[in-house]
């Protein structure tokens, strides 16, 4: 992130370790296209064809060719590429001592591996809805489930061909060694930076009737739900117990998603007085009491809970599409929860939008990703800079002007008159911000 900006003059090359394997377009169309969109599908197909050409002779490409063939702007190309990266269809690398990028192509997963990868299955579910999701499963998986193999009676190489095992051992060192390409499953591990104690969860469930192995197989899904809703190990164990299949005591993942979404009408983590008044770390303290309070709450509350409390403050409700938008950005694991919360706050309070808009969320998220925003403080600073860039004097007069900055709501100080001189706030604006934060603090479950 941060080093992959592209412009008309940018160049790239395409490599492909799977060049001799055909793309399964049935899988790509049914499982991936609802997630990556039509533009992502077109970009993947074109880059794959480029990779075939580059296999014969390495060629350096520019983005004008992509724009012309796909009829897409650079912003759309970058957004589509990010989706391909997030779903494991391509990897993007920088090149040593060069601004040129390297795109490495990957095959789509098999249908079985796709549905075993909970984060992909979850994104598909949220993209198409339950009815279409079940139809896709029936269409893609049903044929594979009709015939269950029993015993493998296939001939082995040593049975069918005359191969000297001694020669095989003696000449092994002379054989060409080719490393196995990394599959996209290996790149979809979302647990690396999570604070979720999965062992504690399995220990809690140990004495229940549930099949623990089925829980372990769905680790990625469970951790995604933890990140999205802020559910701790105890709360998730209760939901998991309600999502057991009666036939074999295994975990029903679709049922688990529905139960959590249905029952999550109030935040599990509450905004307490202690949470709001706790002293932030030295490196995150801004000196502005209102901003520090907002950062503190953004760090402590899960995105869905944060969204719900803001909507209550505005006397609204969380729409289904808003839950899907937040779920999608959480599942990409690009940002920490505190950054996502600031994004939500910026759109609903700072920009006073009634609802979250997917295109707007994607635009801001892509911009922040390229700027390598990792904390709430950094997100607020990016918003502040953007606001300041919009308010630039068009003409300089001979007299010295005192620039007044128009800052977003979150940056408005409520602490002193000196703050007012810096930010240009009126008393009513300061009272409005404090009222918003106090109201957010009172919305407890």
Give pLDDT, residue 422: 39
pLDDT of amino acid 271: 39
Q: Is the pLDDT of residue 398 over 60?
A: no
Residue 116 has a pLDDT of 79
Instruction: Tell me the pLDDT band of 345, cut-offs 50, 70 and 90.
Output: very high
Q: How many CB atoms lie within 10 A of CB 10?
A: 16
Q: How far apart are CA 371 and CA 442, in angstroms?
A: 34
Q: Is the model's pLDDT at 43 over the cut of 90?
A: yes
Token pair in block for residue 299: 């760090």
Listed range (146-150, 232-236, 248-252) with the worst mean pLDDT: 146-150
Judge whether residue 44 has pLDDT over 90: yes
Q: Answer whether residue 40 shows pLDDT above 90.
A: yes
Identify the pLDDT of residue 46: 93
Of residues 30 and 391, more confidently modeled: 30
Nearest to 236 by CA among 249, 224, 254: 224
Torsion of CA 315, 319, 324, 329, to 10 degrees: -20
Mean pLDDT, residues 279-294 = 61
| pLDDT band of 264, cuts 50, 70, 90 | low
DSSP secondary structure, 303-338, as one string: HHHHHHHHHHHTT----HHHHHHHHHHHHTT-S-HH
- What does the DSSP assignment read for 323-391? HHHHHHHHHTT-S-HHHHHHHHHIIIIIS--SS--HHHHHHHHHHHHHTT--SHHHHHHHHHHHHHHHS
Q: What is the pLDDT of residue 259?
A: 85
- The more confident residue out of 93 and 209 is 93
| Encoded tokens for 114 | 């796709």
Does residue 47 have a pLDDT over 90?
yes
Q: Which of the listed ranges 38-42, 290-294, 315-319 does the model predict with the highest average pLDDT?
A: 38-42
Per-residue pLDDT of 94-131, as tens digits, reads 877 778 899 999 999 988 888 878 788 888 888 888 88
pLDDT in the model for residue 393: 56
Token pair 């190990």: residue: 233
For the chain, percent of residues with pLDDT exceeding 70: 68
Handedness of CA 344, 349, 353, 354 (dihedral sign): positive
Rounded to whole angstroms, the Cα distance separating 109 from 159 reads 32
Please list the alpha-helical segments (H only) found in 58-146: 63-70, 74-86, 111-116, 118-128, 130-146
């Amino acid at each position: 992130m941060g080093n992959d900006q592209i412009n008309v003059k940018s160049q790239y090359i395409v490599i492909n370790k799977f060049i001799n394997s055909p793309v399964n377009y049935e899988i790509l169309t049914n499982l991936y296209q609802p997630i990556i969109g039509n533009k992502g599908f077109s970009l993947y197909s074109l880059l794959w064809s480029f990779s075939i050409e580059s296999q014969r002779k390495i060629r350096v490409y520019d983005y004008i060719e992509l724009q012309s063939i796909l009829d897409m702007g650079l912003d759309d190309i970058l957004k589509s590429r990010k989706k391909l990266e997030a779903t494991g269809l391509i990897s993007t690398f920088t090149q040593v001592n060069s601004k040129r990028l390297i795109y490495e192509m990957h095959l789509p997963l098999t249908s079985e591996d796709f549905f075993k990868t909970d984060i992909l299955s979850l994104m598909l579910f949220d993209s198409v809805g339950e009815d279409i999701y079940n139809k896709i499963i029936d269409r893609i998986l049903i044929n594979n489930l009709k015939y269950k193999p029993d015993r493998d009676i296939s001939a082995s190489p040593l049975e069918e061909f005359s191969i000297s095992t001694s020669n095989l051992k003696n000449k092994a060192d002379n054989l060409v060694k080719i490393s196995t390409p990394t599959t996209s499953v290996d790149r979809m591990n979302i647990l690396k930076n999570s604070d979720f104690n999965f062992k504690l969860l399995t220990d809690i469930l140990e004495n229940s009737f549930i099949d623990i192995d089925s829980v372990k197989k769905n680790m990625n899904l469970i951790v995604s739900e933890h990140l999205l809703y802020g559910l701790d190990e105890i709360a998730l164990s209760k939901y998991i117990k309600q999502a057991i299949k009666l036939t074999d005591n295994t975990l029903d993942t679709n049922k688990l998603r529905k139960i959590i979404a249905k029952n999550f009408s109030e935040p599990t983590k509450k905004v307490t007085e202690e949470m709001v008044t706790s002293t932030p770390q030295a490196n995150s303290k801004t000196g502005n009491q209102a901003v520090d309070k907002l950062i503190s709450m953004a760090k402590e509350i899960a995105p869905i809970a944060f969204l719900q409390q803001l909507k209550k403050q505005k006397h609204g409700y969380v729409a289904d599409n808003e839950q899907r938008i937040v779920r999608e950005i959480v599942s990409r694991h690009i940002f920490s929860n505190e950054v996502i919360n600031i994004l939500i706050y910026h759109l609903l309070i700072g920009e006073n939008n009634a609802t979250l808009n997917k295109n707007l969320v994607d635009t801001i998220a892509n911009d922040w990703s390229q700027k390598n925003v990792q904390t709430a403080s950094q997100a607020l600073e990016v918003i502040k800079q953007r606001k300041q860039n919009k308010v630039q004097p068009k003409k300089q007069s001979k007299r010295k002007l005192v620039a007044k900055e128009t800052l977003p709501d979150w940056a408005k100080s409520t602490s002193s008159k000196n703050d007012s001189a810096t930010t240009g706030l009126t008393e009513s604006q300061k009272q409005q911000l404090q009222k918003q934060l106090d109201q957010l603090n009172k919305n407890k479950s």
